[in-house]
Structure 1
């Protein structure tokens, strides 16, 4: 054991002497502050190379630093800083930060990778990649996190498992498992549940709802666009399914959600519909609407009736708020109920399973209605 400590002391002394002869900075080796070659003076020193079995403390790093637990750098760091648990830089980190758990720093230029989080008190130029979350002010690059990204503004993509939040502008695209929120988005937003923004120049795609002041291409079931369009409609089709629907969206794309009643059935009478639509060839009195919808008619007891439709609906505007529309539809039907099989009988093509209790079919239908725009 004594021989091992002696060899370690010779190695430390030799590396210290080498650094003094060839480098303006020091080579800093130790266990944990102040048990190192720089001793109690370590918080004031600038190093070219640092290696600590547990944790290292320094003023400035201008090369590579390694710590079994944490690197604590009071001022700037330039180069690569690697720690099994965390890196803490007081001012600017210029280079690569790699930590098993956490990186904290004043501002950054380069890539920051952490198992849990990258938290910057200033601006970041480069990429932040974290297993849980990233925080920064202005980001000129990308933020990728397993759970959340928070920034003042971003010139690049934000990708998060749950949430992206930018207090000002996003100059690229936001992807989130649940929610995106930003001011102006010069790109697109895609979220599993909700997108919130002011002006969006690209697509807003959400699993349920989009909210914006201006967004021409929202793809969601409900789209609350201040400068867009919202409408309440009453429609019917070839199966006598009459729907009360809410249509909402921007100047081009819109979403559809509705409930209704089927007047041809005796048992399966309750109808539900969701879908998406697009406006084409718009003028002051006419436009062409195309819609892709899915409708289910239920008794809530047993069996199923599902119809997916592609609709081509020429629309005539009457004044500022009223609109009449109607046209053909191309439909795919799937049902295993007796009443569902009798709703429509003329098919382009149909097929049943080997037991004869489940019908699938393709056919041409029709539909139309009236809506009030507001």
Structure 2
């Protein structure tokens, strides 16, 4: 049953649409003289069925607008569809679709899809450019561009064939060749990188001298397996991977002194200095943990200075001092080190914190 008093009942909807169409028709003469496009949705607009052929200075559509070229600003409740160029800013509640080049900025609640870009593109979900982008792409989920000359910022992923800028993503960045910085929460993937790769876990590249990640798979870089022991009798089997300068560290081990907290894990970053055929200096910053998988824990962060001597192409011995900070609430952890530069314990906690000088050494097998 239709409620006749309800403003959006069937007959009133028809009357409203009819009135809007008359308004658009009456407005068309004025609009064409001023190149203003006004309407509901194609073809119910001031440009009518010829809208895909028209060039406008201003476009305003309640739902969606269609045009050939937009020289100025365009607003649409749902979508702007421009078959060729857009020179001014485009605002859409859902999406902007530009067939060729978008010189002005694009703002969409969901997605911007365009041929080339000369300004910023901001979308709640994705920006997709089929050609070159000379500007910034910001998206809640993903940015995609063929050639990039600007920044990409995405909540999940950035993808570019070639880039002369930086990529920042919550999860993954992908580029063929990039001159800039890749920063990702989890993984960066590229072929040639002239800049830094910074990832929460993995960097992958053919060539990248400055990868910063726990695991770095660089084709022309260096990887090694190391066996080491430190002053607390913690032995570690460690995988180091990176470029010519920076590398990541990931290891597992066993403490020979403790009876309970014996299982060890280590992660960190390092850098090679003064490399030669027989010597180099490895400087590392690591965090390690001893665990018995029950109550209590032992945490240690270390700054290590490790002179290393090469015994051939694939073998290296190293050893040197370390500056350490420890925090533990276990009996065994408190007894691992008794000589401290400084130690303290809060009245409301049984956790002992300390600073001390240590040492360590071992061997690397390089491949």
Q: Give the TM-score normalised by the residue count of structure 2.
A: 0.90
1:340 aligns with 2:333: yes
Deviations 1:319-346 (A, max 9, x none): 1011111110000010011111111100
Matches within 5 A, 1:11-22: 13=26, 18=30
Matches within 5 A, 1:297-336: 297-336=290-329
Indicate conservation of the 8 Å contact 2:41/2:64, yes or no: no
Deviations 1:208-263 (A, max 9, x none): 10000000111100000000000000011000000000000001100000000000
Change in Cα spacing, 1:34 to 1:105, as seen in structure 2 (3 Å) is closer
Matches within 5 A, 1:17-32: 18=30, 23=33, 26-32=35-41
Matches within 5 A, 1:1-374: 13=26, 18=30, 23=33, 26-38=35-47, 42-44=48-50, 57-73=51-67, 75-107=68-100, 108-120=102-114, 122-136=115-129, 137-166=131-160, 168-354=161-347, 357-374=350-367
Secondary structure at the residue paired with 2:334? helix
1:43 CA drift (Å): 2.9
Report the equivalent of 1:49.
none
Indicate conservation of the 8 Å contact 2:321/2:357, yes or no: yes
Change in Cα spacing, 1:177 to 1:317, as seen in structure 2 (3 Å) is same
Q: Following TM superposition, where does structure 1 have runs of at least 4 consecutive aligned residues deviating by more than 3 angstroms?
A: 8-13, 15-20, 25-38
Q: Distance in 2 between matches of 1:10 and 1:340?
A: 81
Change in Cα spacing, 1:34 to 1:113, as seen in structure 2 (3 Å) is closer
> Greater CA deviation, 251-260 or 133-142?
133-142
Change in Cα spacing, 1:33 to 1:218, as seen in structure 2 (3 Å) is closer
Deviations 1:89-110 (A, max 9, x none): 1122222111011011112212
Indicate conservation of the 8 Å contact 1:123/1:138, yes or no: yes
Report the equivalent of 1:54.
none
1:267 CA drift (Å): 1.1
User: How many residues align structurally?
Assistant: 350
Q: Distance in 1 between matches of 2:223 and 2:35?
A: 68
1:272 CA drift (Å): 0.5
Q: Distance in 2 between matches of 1:154 and 1:77?
A: 24
Report the equivalent of 2:8.
none
Indicate conservation of the 8 Å contact 1:16/1:26, yes or no: no
Change in Cα spacing, 1:242 to 1:59, as seen in structure 2 (3 Å) is same
Indicate conservation of the 8 Å contact 2:228/2:237, yes or no: yes
Q: Distance in 1 between matches of 2:264 and 2:31?
A: 80
Unaligned runs of 5+ in 2: 1-11
Indicate conservation of the 8 Å contact 1:12/1:29, yes or no: no
Q: Distance in 2 between matches of 1:222 and 1:36?
A: 57
1:11 CA drift (Å): 10
Q: Distance in 1 between matches of 2:298 and 2:191?
A: 40
Change in Cα spacing, 1:358 to 1:175, as seen in structure 2 (3 Å) is same
Higher strand share: 1
1:128 CA drift (Å): 1.3
